[in-house]
Structure 1
Amino acid sequence: MFRPLFVFIGTRYTRAKRRNHFVSFISLTSMIGLALGVVVMIVVLSVMNGFDHEMRTRVLGMVPHATIEGDQPINDWHALADKVKTHPEVQAVAPFTQMQGLLSSNGKVQKVLLNAIDPAEERKVSIIDNFMQKGRLDDLTPDSFGIVIGDKAATSLGVGIGDKLTFVTPEVTVTPGGIFPRMKRFTVVGIFHVGAGELDGFLGLTNLTDLARLHRWKPDQVQGLRLKFDDLFEAPRVAWEIAQKLGDHDFYARDWTRTHGNLYQAIRMEKAMIGLLLLLIVAVAAFNIISTLVMVVNDKKGDIAILRTLGATPGQIMGIFMVQGTVIGVVGTFIGAVVGIFAALNVSAAVSALEGLIGHKFLSADVYFIDYLPSQLMAEDVVLVCGAALVLSFLATLYPAWRAARTQPAEALRYE
């Protein structure tokens, strides 16, 4: 098969065993450094994608995309839900009522956000059913005062299915004997595990009717409506439009960007900044090719002079060393991509196995919003990383190749 002269010689130089072993060592380290840079970039970007994905699917699958609430309890939520559903971007609607307080059992106390739901409607807007460890959401029947809590709260309080909890409300009752906090006994009917410390530790679910009684409302009154959209990133705009349509003075809207937006934006910013920093690592590894090729040019001055006297043009000489440097970049990038893809696909399992081996959790749900290391490999990230590494590798060949092309045959052969 025909190959141009500069391609033939450049690939031959790459394969040949050089007399100068130090140059060969520098060339090998440049290739390994580039491969390691690509591996680290692919793995870290995949982990950041995993955090982004878990934030959107788990945490934002549990918390409302947006809510519609009023200054007063809503009497006919079915009619209001029908109006809200007329907006084309609303996927589902469910009623809710909330109350903050304390859960107590056997002298142990845990703060909680008690969220009253209709189990049948809640499934349309939440993924809580996917994370039920014990019990069922349907066990939250009216007037039963059942409660579903996260596994972290259950462990903290030392309770299980069928155990009793005391819910202490932030309101007080005035009696002839003094002022006493309002309390109500609940029965644990379910335990869930989402993997997010904020939800597993501080969220409780009960029936709408039960919490309405604690608020001293009518059984069918609710605090507001929880909305689910086709595109959660449109939540601020759509929620505002719905509130305006219903009447700005009667209802107001809140969306997830007010409760979890800072965390999500932090993840996106961290991914961009970490990607930029890791790209600098790849750049350092790629530009090691410059030192490698400079040494090769100095080592091959005699060969360059002979080629020039045989009629090789400066462009061909330049092409020889560009091919050699590019081959180093291509091989290093290919090895890095293969190892990086394998590592990104297995990093979650590897970290989990390591945690089990040493008995220590690297990600605590008390600090992070999830308690495991997620990873999501995206093809566009692999293409971007490999493309950047190849471009930097190619740019790194230009200066040494240009120096080789300027070599004067007489000067190079003077002391040969």
Structure 2
Amino acid sequence: MFRPLFVFIGTRYTRAKRRNHFVSFISLTSMIGLALGVLVMILVLSVMNGFDHEMRTRVLGMVPHATIESAKPLADWQRLGALAAKNPQVVAVAPFSQMQGLLTHEGKVQKVLINAIDPLEETKVSIIGDFFEEGRLQDLKAGDFGIVIGDKAAAKLGVGLGDKITFVAPEVTVTPAGMFPRLKRFTVVGIFHVGAGEVDGFIAMTHVQDLARLQRWKADEVQGIRLKFADLFEAPRTAWQLAQSLGDKQFYARDWTRTHGNLYQAIRMEKAMIGLLLLLIVAVAAFNIISTLVMVVTDKKGDIAILRTLGATPGQIMAIFMVQGTVIGVVGTAIGAVLGILAALNISAGIAALESLLGIKFLNADVYFIDYLPSQLMLADVLLVCSAALVLSFLATLYPAWRAARTQPAEALRYE
């Protein structure tokens, strides 16, 4: 197979054993360093993609994309829901009410935000039904005062399916004997585990009619309607427009950016900053090729001089060392990409196995919004990392190749 002279010699220099073993060692470490840089960058970007994906699907699949509420209880939420559903961005609508308070059981206390829902409508706007460990969402029946809690809350209170727990509302009842807190006994009918500490520990659910009775509303009155959007990034603008169209200053909108927006933006910013820092590591590894080729040029001055006397042009000499450096970059990038892809595909299972072996949790749900290490490999990230590594590797060959092309045969062969 025909190969140009500079390609033949450049690839031969790459795989040939040199007299100077130190140069060979530096070349090998440059290749390994580049491979490690590419591997780590693909792995870390995949983990950040995993956090981003879990944030959008799990946490934002549990909390409302947006809500439309009024200062007074709504008795005609079906009409408002039908009007909101006409917007092409709105996928589903469900009623809701909320109430903060405390759950108590045998002297143990847990703060909680109770979401009152309609079980038949809630499955249209939430993914909670996919994460039940015991019971199910449909076990919430009007009048039974059942409650669904997360596994972290259940563990802290020491309760299981069928146990009675007391809800303490942040209001008092005034009687002739004095002021007493408002209490209500609920029966645990379901326990879920989402993997997000904030959800599993502090969110509970009951039937919307039961909470209406607790708040002394009519059975069909709710706090507002919950909206699910086809594109959650459209929620802030669209929800505000819907609130304005439903009634002038009568309704107001809230969206996920007010409750979890800071966390989501932090994840996106961390991905960008970590990506930049890791790119610098790849750049350092790529520019190690400069020192490798400079030493190769010094080691091969005699060969370069002979090639020049045989008629090789400065451009061909330059191309020889550009080929050599590019081969190092391509091999290092390819090895790093393969290892990075394998690591990204198996990091979640590997960390889970390591946690099980050591008996510790690397991600605590009390600190992070999930208790496991997610990973989502994206082709675009792999191509971007490999392209950046190859471009940096190619740029690193220019200066040593230019120096090789400037070699003067007479001076190089003077002491040979």
Is 2:111 aligned against 1:111? yes
Q: Aligned residue for 2:92?
A: 92
Q: Aligned residue for 1:324?
A: 324
Aligned residues: 416
Work out the CA distance in 2 between the residues paired with 1:288 and 1:321: 14
Is 2:175 aligned against 1:175? yes
Matched to 2:356, the amino acid is: G
What does 1:57-206 correspond to in 2, within 5 Å? Answer: 57-206=57-206
Is 2:305 aligned against 1:305? yes
Report Cα offsets for 1:138-186 as digits up to 9, x if no partner: 1100010000000000000000000000000001011121111000000
Q: CA deviation at 1:248?
A: 3.1
Work out the CA distance in 1 between the residues paired with 2:77 and 2:374: 39
Gaps of 5+ in 2: none
Q: CA RMSD in A?
A: 0.4
Work out the CA distance in 2 between the residues paired with 1:322 and 1:235: 52
Matched to 2:245, the amino acid is: K
Q: Aligned residue for 2:346?
A: 346
TM-score by length of 2: 1.00
Gaps of 5+ in 1: none
Work out the CA distance in 2 between the residues paired with 1:135 and 1:199: 17
Q: CA deviation at 1:51?
A: 0.1
Is 2:25 aligned against 1:25? yes
SS of the aligned residue for 1:377 comes to: coil
Q: CA deviation at 1:86?
A: 1.1
Q: Aligned residue for 1:45?
A: 45
Matched to 2:242, the amino acid is: I
Work out the CA distance in 2 between the residues paired with 1:302 and 1:83: 84
Work out the CA distance in 2 between the residues paired with 1:88 and 1:379: 31
Q: CA deviation at 1:262?
A: 0.3
What does 1:145-294 correspond to in 2, within 5 Å? Answer: 145-294=145-294
Percentage of identical aligned residues = 81
Work out the CA distance in 1 between the residues paired with 2:322 and 2:136: 66
Report Cα offsets for 1:241-277 as digits up to 9, x if no partner: 1011112311000000000000000000000000000
Work out the CA distance in 2 between the residues paired with 1:275 and 1:73: 48
Q: CA deviation at 1:58?
A: 0.1
Work out the CA distance in 2 between the residues paired with 1:94 and 1:47: 33
Q: Aligned residue for 1:356?
A: 356
Work out the CA distance in 2 between the residues paired with 1:143 and 1:360: 43
Work out the CA distance in 2 between the residues paired with 1:329 and 1:340: 16
Is 2:382 aligned against 1:367? no
SS of the aligned residue for 1:219 comes to: coil
Matched to 1:390, the amino acid is: L
Work out the CA distance in 1 between the residues paired with 2:230 and 2:94: 15
Work out the CA distance in 2 between the residues paired with 1:60 and 1:123: 14
Matched to 1:201, the amino acid is: G
TM-score by length of 1: 1.00
Work out the CA distance in 2 between the residues paired with 1:37 and 1:281: 6
Report Cα offsets for 1:296-347 as digits up to 9, x if no partner: 0000000000000000000000000000000000000000000000000000
Work out the CA distance in 2 between the residues paired with 1:65 and 1:244: 17
Work out the CA distance in 1 between the residues paired with 2:3 and 2:377: 37
SS of the aligned residue for 1:19 comes to: coil
